[in-house]
Amino acid sequence: MSKAMFPMALILAALCLPSSACKRPDRSSPPVAEKIPHVLSAHGSERVDDYYWLKERDNPEVISYLEAENAYTASTLAHTEALQKELFDEIVGRIQQDDHSVPYFENGYFYYERYESGGEYAIYCRRPKSMEAEEEIILNVNELGEGHEYFAVRGLKISADNALLAYAEDSVGRRLYSLRFKNLDTGETYPDLIPEVTGNVIWAADNRTVFYTRQDPETLRSHLVFRHVLGTDPSHDLLVFDEEDETFSCSVQKTKSKRYLVIHSTSTLSDEARYLDADDPTGQFTIFLPRTRGHEYSIDHFGDRFFIRTNDNAVNFRLMSTPIAETQKSHWEEMIPHSEDIYLEKFEIFRDHLVLAQRQNGLVQLRVIPWSGDGGYLVDFEDAAYDASIGVNPEIDTATLRYDYSSLTVPHSVFDFDLETRTRTLLKQEEVLGGFNPSDYVAERVYATARDGVKVPISLVRRADSGEAPQPLLLYAYGSYGYSMDPSFRSERLSLLDRGFTFAIAHVRGGQEYGRRWYEDGKLLHKKNTFADFVDCAQFLVNEGMTVSDQLFAMGGSAGGLLMGAVVNMRPGLFGGVVAQVPFVDVMTTMLDADIPLTTAEYDEWGNPNNKEFFDYMLSYSPYDQVKAQDYPTMLVTAGLNDSQVQYWEPAKWVAKLRSLKTDDHVLLLHTNMEAGHGGASGRFKQHEETALTYAFLLDQIGGGAGN
């Protein structure tokens, strides 16, 4: 049994930890973190943070406290161990052990990844010209990850001559990668090793030069672009670009045509692109269009023109094009005009067609427009609510669009769509083992009226035979960064649905489901709309008789964890339980500390608290600062010791403060993954140990914690 299953031996071993910072009167009592007042001053006011000391990652007292919390969680949920194992086996049992992705064709090869029975990680493969050709294994991540509690790879890029692979690996979970190179003809891994990089890398056309990005070791902001020539000492790599504005980060990309390399600098509100001919890796990058505050744009290339997705005079974006040699705005020509009702999310270029991913009425649409000027059309989707996206389409010279599709009842599906005949072919649908039948479940979309009159959509799924309402219900949301939470399929969710739960997604403001204004109305000085929307959606579900408060559960992660922290301060009695995953809850302290990873780049999302107006507004909702002496629902809070996005101390401090002030006797649990970062465990099976823990916690609240 794994660590996350909390075997009794681990519980007994960890329950008694000698530490002045953690007072544990007996095994049934939670840890009590020591209060060491720390004064934080800003704008003439002071805040006293009693748990600031938990930020000391290298302090043994901190690790002891986290381990004590883990032991308390294990002890509290010990009676659910059988259920956790049952859930884990059930969830993993639905996954096809020997599986593979749908191959895609690029530069003479079919590429795909596959999994072997029992393997936690992917095996990346290819076949030349035909899937009937002999398989070549590019990278077996199971072999690389052997002996590591955590392992991840990213940035796999093949050189233009198909002979070389660049890839990045991380064995800690803090997203500090090491860049490596492999000869695919000989299998040799080159001695070139470039540590502490982002994993973002591209090849120039000469098959020996790569460009890669490196982050600040403290803030983790990606701001440096280097050039490396294979076979040379990486310590001599040339710094090509330094993004000096601390509110921006940068990445390297290649246009779909493969003709240009692009350095893309981006902040929440602004973009700037630089381009270089891929045949001239020692040349100088040229600025496409200088940055101006509020102007967001991205570029691609086809034929003799650049194509630009831009919000210039277009809040929902429009598509422009310009000759390669004339990138100034005065030469731009409009291809797709702005729409007040349709948000332009992405575009994909093909030889004879342009494909747009756009949003209308809260749902994704794929729009096809022939270059010939003949009438465009929408790809037809059958479900009332769904998740669709442009898939992997690396080749321009084709009339076939690859797209992905799923819904709350339809597993992830990959289609090839003929852009000329308008016919589609299902290439693969995720196989869900264990007797899954989509007709056993029913999905619907309802609308809650927020307190300011705005209609907020809610997507729900439940078993068709679930009986009369009210039922236990898990309400999920995110609501930040313009990230749309589309109603997609997750096979692990069936374990809740089959035990009587309804699962719901509140599409709150702060996402981008209804276009850019939906996002703008849930950020900065409008951030409280996100929290109010969630509360109003929850209240609507209770008012409609779909559930009752003591069986209504809320869940969100990262910025969605901030949402959880805000709503339990606002309306704690509305929820029977809350799961806050790696929650961003110490908003004020984090946003005032420019040395914390990612802080300065977040100013345009949350506000810069060095400005008093933003300071006052953010302080008024910051979950950690707004904890008060009141009853709170039962809660499970998770963290990752190596988390680079939401530092582990945010949830740890929050739990400690809640314990000190809350007036109820409801269970409050903190579970820290001591081996992973923001995304939790890395393996395709291992990650579900935490899923099983979460589901067991939820089921325990409705009396199902002992298992069957």
Instruction: Say which amino acid occupies 108.
Output: G
Q: Which residue has the tokens 């005949």?
A: 421
Q: Which two tokens stand for residue 346?
A: 């992405």
For 289, counting Cβ atoms within 10 Å of its Cβ (0-12 exposed, 13-18 middle, 19+ buried), the class is buried
79 is catalytic: no
| Active-site residue, from 301, 507, 671, 678 | 678
Q: Could you write out the DSSP letters of every residue in 582-593?
A: S----HHHHHT-
| Active-site residue, from 19, 406, 558, 644 | 558
DSSP H/E element including 169: strand 164-170
* Residue count (the chain): 708
Phi and psi angles of residue 199, each rounded to the nearest 5 degrees, phi first: 95, -5
Sheet order of strands, 194-197 included? 152-158, 164-170, 177-183, 194-197
Q: Which residue has the tokens 């692009």?
A: 262
Q: Contact at 8 Å (CB) between 31 and 22?
A: yes
Report the alpha-carbon distance of residue 95 to residue 694 in Å, rounded.
19
- Sorted by sequence, the CB contacts under 8 Å of residue 121 that are 6+ apart come out as 115, 141, 142, 144, 145, 151, 153, 682, 683, 684
What is the SS3 assignment for 568?
helix
β-strand partners of 68:
none
Phi and psi angles of residue 85, each rounded to the nearest 5 degrees, phi first: -65, -40
Rg (CA), the chain: 26
| Active-site residue, from 271, 536, 643, 700 | 643
Q: Contact at 8 Å (CB) between 569 and 585?
A: no
Q: Could you write out the DSSP letters of every residue in 569-615?
A: HH-GGG-SEEEEES----HHHHHT-TTSTTSGGGHHHH--TTSHHHH
Report the alpha-carbon distance of residue 708 to residue 704 in Å, rounded.
8
Distances (CA, A) of 221 to 186, 245, 384, 439: 36, 11, 40, 47
Q: Contact at 8 Å (CB) between 462 and 456?
A: no
Phi and psi angles of residue 549, each rounded to the nearest 5 degrees, phi first: -55, -40
Cβ neighbour number for residue 445 with a 10 Å cutoff:
17
Instruction: Say which amino acid occupies 650.
Output: E
558 is catalytic: yes
| DSSP character at residue 107 | T
43 is catalytic: no
Q: Which of 563, 624, 629, 639 has its CA nearest to residue 588?
A: 624
Query: What angle, 0 to 180 degrees and rounded to 10, lies between the N-to-C axes of helices 81-93 and 687-701?
Result: 130
Phi and psi angles of residue 79, each rounded to the nearest 5 degrees, phi first: -70, -10
Report the alpha-carbon distance of residue 335 to residue 354 in Å, rounded.
10
Report the alpha-carbon distance of residue 391 to residue 103 in Å, rounded.
12
Phi and psi angles of residue 254, each rounded to the nearest 5 degrees, phi first: -135, 140
Sign, CA dihedral 579-624-22-677, equals positive
Catalytic center residues:
558, 643, 678
